[in-house]
Amino acid sequence: MDATIFLSQIFAGLSRSMLLFFAGSGLTVIFGLLKIFNFAHGALYMLSAYLGFTFAAAFGSSLGLGGAVVVIPVGVALLGIFLERVIIKRIYEKEFLLQLIVTYALSLIIAESVLWGYGGNPRSIMAPEIFRTSFALGKVVIPYYQIFLIVMGIVVAFALWYVFQKTNIGWTIEAAVTDRAMASALGIPIDLLYALTFGAGCWLAGVAGVLSLPISAAAPGMDASMGVETFAVVIIGGLGNIWGTFAAALLIGLVESLGVLWLPRGSIVFVYVLMLIVLMLRPQGLFGRLVRGLK
């Protein structure tokens, strides 16, 4: 196999891993604290991609993408907080089927509304000026944007780790996860915490959506395809575990991009097979705990 193709696929896969990580970390954070598997996550990703497109297209791609990645995820987070207060809070501690119905219905509403507004044609933008070039690693050509994504992914992973392990708010969240009643009795504003956490999860999905634009177009069906891959990522990594999500995202991104070399049209199937194998051998995911928590 040609080494240059192999290497370029690795970088492509890693940058895709980072997108999967952004989306997956949001999902796993939401699940870790709120115990809700947010089936609407893919739709939020899609929403932010389309909105990011509009924003970036309006301001030109250099300023536009940067501005979009700052503004749009915040907007999506606010939407998330709104949804949490109005809808999501009603399904805490309820059975899984109900949570599935509600979040799946939300995903339908969001995704179809987006398509209603934008129509069925894919939209994409180019990477900002600085990133539009590539550099050469020997004979391999690697777009700077991929490097940017990889760096951002690592930065965000560390930032999340730091927040959860080393800061007050992280410990507060951990306390609320471990014993909600006690944390509330100690004066921790649980409702606010839940709302902010859901918002943070949506924010991460928003970042993923906006950053995906230079790589892949915003198109119908992206909520389902990215959604399912994100589910696979958090499940393989272990629900509630951020490093698990990171590892699983790396694994899945690489499996897909290298799988393309072997099976061009169906590399996604490797992901499903991987998921089946992992879950059969280790039902809680690679790094998950059997008792739900956030780590």
Partner 1 sequence: MSRRDSWVLVILLAGSGLAGFFLDTYYLNVGTEVITAVIFAMSYNIALGYGGLVSFGHSFFYGLGAYSVAIILRDTSLGFPIGMLIGMALSAFFGAVVAYVTRRSREVYFAILTLGFSQVAFFIIFTWYEFTEGDNGIFGFNVGRILSAPRNFYWLTVILAVAWFWVLLRVVHSPFGLTLKAIRDHEDRSKFIGLYPDKHKIIALTVSAVGSAMAGSLYAGMSKLVHPNLLHWMTAAQPLFMTLVGGINSFWGPAVGAVVYKIAEVFLGQITERWTLFIGVVLLAIALIAPNGLVGLVRRGERRTNPAPAGTRGKPDVTPVQ
Separation CA 203–CA 201 (nearest Å): 5
Residue with tokens 């709104």: 82
Minimum CB distance to partner 1 smaller for 148 or for 198: 198
**CA distances (Å), 46 to each of 49, 51, 204, 211, 228, in order?**
5, 9, 12, 11, 13
User: Among candidates 29, 50, 33, 101, which has minimal Cα distance to 226?
Assistant: 50
Minimum CB distance to partner 1 smaller for 247 or for 278: 278
Separation CA 63–CA 245 (nearest Å): 31
- Shortest CB 58 distance to partner 1, Å: 24
Contact residues for 81 (Cβ-Cβ < 8 A; gap 6+) = 195, 196, 198, 199, 202
Minimum CB distance to partner 1 smaller for 107 or for 245: 107
Beta-carbon neighbour count of residue 135 at 10 Å?
10
Sign of the four-CA dihedral 88, 90, 94, 100: negative
Contact residues for 249 (Cβ-Cβ < 8 A; gap 6+) = 17, 18, 20, 21, 24, 153, 233, 237
Asked if residue 180 lies in contact with residue 35, where contact means CB atoms within 8 angstroms, the answer is no
- Shortest CB 155 distance to partner 1, Å: 29
Q: Is 218 helix (H, G, I), strand (E, B) or coil?
A: strand
Minimum CB distance to partner 1 smaller for 113 or for 165: 113
Minimum CB distance to partner 1 smaller for 232 or for 247: 232
- Shortest CB 293 distance to partner 1, Å: 12
Minimum CB distance to partner 1 smaller for 111 or for 152: 111
- Shortest CB 115 distance to partner 1, Å: 6
Minimum CB distance to partner 1 smaller for 196 or for 235: 235
DSSP conformational letter for 132: S
- Shortest CB 154 distance to partner 1, Å: 27
User: Among candidates 256, 12, 4, which has minimal Cα distance to 146?
Assistant: 12
- Shortest CB 62 distance to partner 1, Å: 34
- Shortest CB 243 distance to partner 1, Å: 20
Task: By CB under 8 A, name the binding residues for partner 1.
Answer: 35, 37, 87, 90, 93-98, 100-102, 104-109, 112-113, 115-116, 120, 181, 224, 228, 231-232, 235, 239, 263, 265-266, 268-269, 272-273, 275-276, 279-280, 283
